[in-house]
A and B are shown apart, each in its own frame.
Chain A
Amino acid sequence: MDDRSFNNQRIHGMSDVVFECVLAYIHDSRDRQSISLVCRRLCELEAQTRKHVTIALCYTTTPKQLLRRFPFIESLKLKGKPRAAMYNLIPEDWGGFATPWVEELSKSFSCLKALHFRRMIVKDEDLELLARDRGHVLQVLKLDKCSGFSTDGLLHICSSCRNLKVLFLEESQVIEKDGGWIHELAMNNTQLEALNFYMTDLSQVSFNDLELIAKRCKSLVSVKIGDCEILDLVGFFRAAVSLEEFSGGCFNKQSEEYASLAYPPRLCRLGLNYMSTNEMPIVYPFASRLKKLDLLYALLDTEDHCVLLQRCPNLEVLEARNVIGDRGLEVLARSCKKMKRLRIERGADEQELEDEEGVVSQRGLTAIAQGCLDLEYIAVYVSDITNAALESMGMNLKNLCDFRMVLLDKEEVITDLPLDNGIRSLLSGCNKLRRFALYLRPGGLTDVGLTYIGQHSQNIRWMLLGYLGESDSGLLGFSRGCPSLQKLEVRGCCFSEKALAMAVLQLRSLRYLWVQGYRGSKTGFDLLTMARPFWNIEIIPPRKVNCGDGREMEHPAHILAYYSLAGPRTDFPPSVIPLASITQ
């Protein structure tokens, strides 16, 4: 039926040209994947017209394989370390080295304009190579939660990449030698649209250079910086006329001095670090314009949150610590009807450092469920919870795609556990859910509840299960469902190696598994039940980690398993042990 001849330039009676034109309009990678399976010619055409590729784990394939499959990509996103690295759970030397990729990208990928490394180890030499060979065409460089490089590497980039539109370094661990890189950027670049070194420790950045960048780059839309005194940025704010997004800075002076600060007219996404009650009024003149607010690193109490949020009717994205409290969430639900994304992080544990009222519970969640009906993403650390609150979310939040909830361990008694019924209602009500994380405690969810998760998660692609279920039968019940589950993270659950391995074999879409905390077998070989072709299995053995304050903490073993076309890794550090993989 399909034409397998290489020479024939027609597919189903239509010339290649028709398909080439049509393919240009198809961007979704899953659609393109389906197209590439129709026949060889369409596979070739699709490969030649593919513009962007995301490789969810850099060890699943090789640079040469990528080149063979998609030689003309313009944009690549590569991820390295497991997500748990963001929580300090993965050894720093685990892997995710950018070097082999940079070498091939610089040599062979002639169309590459945008590069995004996430949680990878990038060296100065890599940046130097990239700058030398791709400097003239690189438009986007994102070193996202990366480590291993210094400001010397950045200097190469900023000197050579004169067409750079986006330089993103957020949360990367950069070794700072000087502020020369940003001076180079200011001198050489007029195209910059987004500059981000938020949550890095880069402090030798001159505000004069920032001002120069604002003056010369007319399209500068987003700037997120480290700790730089806000009053020093007066000139910068005056020059950055197109600015829509700003985060960072800090408030070190007396509050009165900030009163007269003028902000760019289009500013609508804001995050002011170390902003306290006294400085809050500077936001009032444009609060009604705000679409995004980052209060994660502000110094506000519950009342402050209530006062501020009342003035932000157009807010769509809010990030805050749980000091916002139930009361703050009630104000949010009343005042901010356009909310799309809500993230409530965990504040300090010590009582003196956070507001007493700063706890989030079923009260706040119920208010949100009933008030913010457009919500697509919610991530929240709660101190208490009920099934009813989850049911309310399931009933009202029909657009929810991403749900993450962690039950904090401070309170001994939780109002309403287990959450079996609430979770079932949430999952069956929110049928657009793609990502789901639930982190409870022993007794939080029974084996029945865990099986419910399996039964009601048709479209969920990623899950984090923390302290769920009671026994192996819960996991096995779970794994009979979850038809779309591609990536599974499990922490603190007492499942046996055998059950984990059997669950992996049952989860038909699974391509990645991460586990920390499990019941080991005597020989350690029960895991091999899941041994199969192309499936890499790695162990990070238990280790003692320095907590930084003289204490040592015992970190239990991890299992990491994933499909790979590249065979086992060839760059294991001492902290990671491979169980041999099978190739065909």
Chain B
Amino acid sequence: MSGIELNHSRPTKKIFHRPQSFRDIQGWISKMNPELVKTVIESGKKPLCPAHYTPTVSLSMPETTPLTIFYNGIVNVYQVSPRQAETVIKFAYGKETPTSPSHNKLQTLNQGKQDVDESCSDLPIARKRSLQRFLKKRKGRVNIGAPY
């Protein structure tokens, strides 16, 4: 793990200041575009890569400064250029759409859910494994002429 990232399963006393209530955090986060937030999570432990966002952002930016993002108890800190920071903030205001591969993963998930929408009532009654095993074996016995 690189950077100043927090593992949220350990006490977060160092960077995550307790005085901020859970409600405050939730309120703050609710103003952010969930797509952006999800992308940040999906990008995992790696620092922001410009290629995940807009293709126009140049790689050869001068100074970088820390950008800290709080989401659902995870704190991620990234070294980004002013230009990159601007891009991220624009996402938060819903002005840009991400083109990252993680977004595609999310779309696949939602696609599956849309399928669920239609096939909600198509779930066959599942059979218990033990019974399934027995019925298969019994078929085998019948086929080899064992007494029924």
A residues with CB within 8 A of B: 84, 86-89, 171, 199, 251-252, 255, 274, 276, 278, 296-297, 299, 321, 345-348, 353, 406, 408-409, 439, 441-442, 466-467, 491-494, 516-525, 528, 531-533, 539, 541-542, 554, 556-557, 566-568, 570, 577, 579-584
Complex partner residue of B139 from A278, A353, A568, CB under 8 angstroms = A353
B57 at the interface (CB under 8 A from A): no
| Separation of A345 and B108 alpha carbons in the complex (Å) | 37
8 shortest interchain CB distances as A-B pairs: A520-B113, A542-B112, A567-B9, A87-B126, A582-B73, A580-B72, A494-B120, A492-B123
- Count B-side interface residues using an 8 Å CB cutoff: 46
B146 at the interface (CB under 8 A from A): yes
B54 to chain A, nearest CB (A): 21
Q: Mark B39-83, 1 if CB is under 8 A from A, else 0.
A: 001000000000000000000000000000001111000000000
- Using Cβ atoms and an 8 Å threshold, which residues of chain A touch B8? 567-568, 580-581, 583
- Using Cβ atoms and an 8 Å threshold, which residues of chain B touch A539? 109
Q: A278-B147, A494-B120, A525-B38 are in contact. Are A556 and B115 (CB under 8 A)?
A: yes
Query: Once the chains bind, are B132 and A88 in contact (CB under 8 Å)?
Result: yes
Query: Once the chains bind, are A556 and B121 in contact (CB under 8 Å)?
Result: no
B residues with CB within 8 A of A: 8-9, 12, 22, 26, 34-35, 38, 41, 71-74, 106, 108-110, 112-117, 119-121, 123-135, 138-139, 141-142, 146-148
Q: A199-B133, A348-B135, A557-B112 are in contact. Are A566 and B120 (CB under 8 A)?
A: no
Knowing that A348-B138, A439-B125, A583-B9 are A-B contacts, what are 11 other residue pairs whose CB atoms are under 8 Å apart, sorted by A's residue number?
Answer: A88-B126, A321-B131, A353-B135, A406-B125, A441-B121, A494-B117, A520-B114, A554-B119, A567-B9, A568-B8, A580-B74
Query: Once the chains bind, are B108 and A517 in contact (CB under 8 Å)?
Result: no
Query: Once the chains bind, are B138 and A580 in contact (CB under 8 Å)?
Result: no
Closest B residue, CB atoms, query A537: B72
Query: Once the chains bind, are B106 and A524 in contact (CB under 8 Å)?
Result: yes
- Using Cβ atoms and an 8 Å threshold, which residues of chain A touch B38? 524-525
- Using Cβ atoms and an 8 Å threshold, which residues of chain A touch B133? 199
| Separation of A509 and B126 alpha carbons in the complex (Å) | 28
Closest B residue, CB atoms, query A494: B120
Query: Once the chains bind, are B129 and A276 in contact (CB under 8 Å)?
Result: no
A145 to chain B, nearest CB (A): 8
Query: Once the chains bind, are B142 and A353 in contact (CB under 8 Å)?
Result: yes
- Using Cβ atoms and an 8 Å threshold, which residues of chain A touch B22? 532-533, 582, 584
Complex partner residue of B147 from A86, A255, A466, A582, CB under 8 angstroms = A255
B116 to chain A, nearest CB (A): 4
A174 to chain B, nearest CB (A): 14
Query: Once the chains bind, are B125 and A520 in contact (CB under 8 Å)?
Result: no
- Using Cβ atoms and an 8 Å threshold, which residues of chain B touch A522? 110
Query: Once the chains bind, are B72 and A582 in contact (CB under 8 Å)?
Result: yes
- Using Cβ atoms and an 8 Å threshold, which residues of chain A touch B34? 523, 525, 528
Query: Once the chains bind, are A409 and B115 in contact (CB under 8 Å)?
Result: no
Complex partner residue of A556 from B26, B35, B123, CB under 8 angstroms = B123
- Using Cβ atoms and an 8 Å threshold, which residues of chain B touch A554? 115, 119
Closest B residue, CB atoms, query A492: B123
B10 to chain A, nearest CB (A): 8
- Using Cβ atoms and an 8 Å threshold, which residues of chain A touch B124? 409
Name the residue in B41, B124, B138 with the highest tally of chain A Cβ atoms < 10 Å from its Cβ: B138
24 contacts between A and B (CB under 8 A): A86-B128, A88-B126, A252-B146, A299-B147, A345-B128, A442-B121, A491-B123, A492-B120, A494-B117, A517-B116, A517-B119, A520-B112, A522-B110, A524-B109, A525-B38, A528-B72, A531-B72, A541-B108, A554-B115, A556-B115, A557-B109, A577-B109, A579-B72, A580-B41
